Amino acid sequence: MIDAIWYFCSFVVTLGILVAFHEFGHFWVARRCGVKVLTFSVGFGRAIWKRQGKDGTLYQLGIIPLGGYVRMLDERIDEVSEQERDVSFNAQSVYKRFAIVAAGPVANFVLAIAVLWLMFGIGVPTVKPVIGDIKEKSIAAEAELERGSQILSVDDIEAYDWQQVQLGLMSAIGDNETVLTLRTPAGNEVTRTLDLTSWNFDPETESTFGSLGIGVYQPTVYTELSQVESGSPADMSGLKQDDKITHIAGKRVDSWSKIREVIAESAGQELLFTIERNQVEQQISVQIGERESQDAVIGYLGVVPVTEPLPDNYVFTHQYGFFEGLAKGAEKTWELMVVSVKMIGKLLTGDVSVKNLAGPLSIAEGAGVSASNGFVYFLSFLALLSVNLGIINLLPLPVLDGGHLMFYSIEWVRGKPVSERVQDVCYRIGGVLVFALMALAISNDIARFAF
């Protein structure tokens, strides 16, 4: 229940920011073009807060946080006096009307740049995309990817962390192949082509790189001891640094995870360890200690295993200065725009399943999870949604900004506006299509959260 409340609040904040900036884009340009704005609303329905500005605009918050609108004086809707005709929207030139409508999506792209600029200024804690284990008989195995190699780019998208790898591979969905540029453990830069013709990716159960058989690098933990805590059960039983554990209670243990599991389950018990010390095998009786963990008693030994060293600068903070961060924010925004357009195209061609469409429940979950992970992760999610909102609004559907821009483009070419009858028919068709897409996205959400 607490998670649901957190997700809802995160969703409202996220959508409120996106809608406010989108509508402010329309509002700001409309005012600069001399158009009278009657209402600036974030949210629909009954107003839970409103204030009349000195500029004559009514500013308000609607009770339904699923959008917003800017209502401008328009002769097609309002009774406009002769004195106010020049400040009505429909009386403006096609260029001004085009600019006013286009300003909404542009504001979302500007917001994405600003948010990413802030994110890169704060710094994003991350890890390099170093490849771990490769799944046998997978696409990655067939491409001969090597454990310990660092992914430098996916096609033309720079991969400085796993999120960028995910972005690049999402862009490649529906393609026959994708090219990875890598730096091998030996320091050589190589390229590998992954054959994607048999790629089956389920976003509900796995990551893009995981579905290709690529594991995230985790340092190998050996069964050899690098440290024995003084006074610990291990120390009292005679275990020493550099001892290699091979068997416990007569059963072979070939991984540290197995040793940890046996110890945790054997609190207070005496177990016979077989170890290798100075290349000589011997047996030691070890009394397992006890300690409480989350209202349960587990076994305790008091040792630290030998661990494979991490690659150089494996964990780092992705951070830039003032001007470099601005450039990086613009570059990242452009990458998100390109990927979004590609994904929409692949949805239309059927290369990407419509099951990938996310509705408000998925967005709420994403907002809540990202906010829980930290402010910089919330900023990254906000930028992604802002770009998607801008791109979707540019689609040439009459009820969206892109549909209005399409009509204005036709008007500019023809020298006269599209007839109101044709526009009305197009608005009806566009409304049905948008409603169908929303219904599909919501049904996908229901399927995801119900099963």
Question: Which active-site residues does the annotation give?
Answer: 23
∠ CA(92), CA(95), CA(97), 5° rounding?
A: 50
How far is residue 369's CA from residue 386's CA, in Å, rounded to a whole number? 17
Contact 130, 136 (CB under 8 A): no
Nearest of 205, 202, 178, 203 to residue 192 by alpha carbon: 178
How far is residue 416's CA from residue 436's CA, in Å, rounded to a whole number? 32
How far is residue 10's CA from residue 245's CA, in Å, rounded to a whole number? 49
How far is residue 386's CA from residue 78's CA, in Å, rounded to a whole number? 32
- Amino acid present at 145: L
How far is residue 10's CA from residue 381's CA, in Å, rounded to a whole number? 11
Give the 3-state secondary structure of residue 106: helix
| Cα distances (Å, whole numbers) of residue 189 to 72, 151, 153, 182, 247 | 57, 10, 11, 6, 41
SS3 content of the chain, % helix, strand, coil (to 5): 45, 25, 30
Contact 448, 361 (CB under 8 A): yes
CA dihedral 444, 446, 447, 451 (to 10 degrees): 150
Nearest of 240, 254, 233 to residue 282 by alpha carbon: 240
Nearest of 63, 83, 60 to residue 73 by alpha carbon: 83
Contact 384, 170 (CB under 8 A): no
Supply the angle between the helices 401-414 and 94-122 in degrees, to the nearest 10. Answer: 140
Give the 3-state secondary structure of residue 315: strand
How far is residue 301's CA from residue 308's CA, in Å, rounded to a whole number? 21
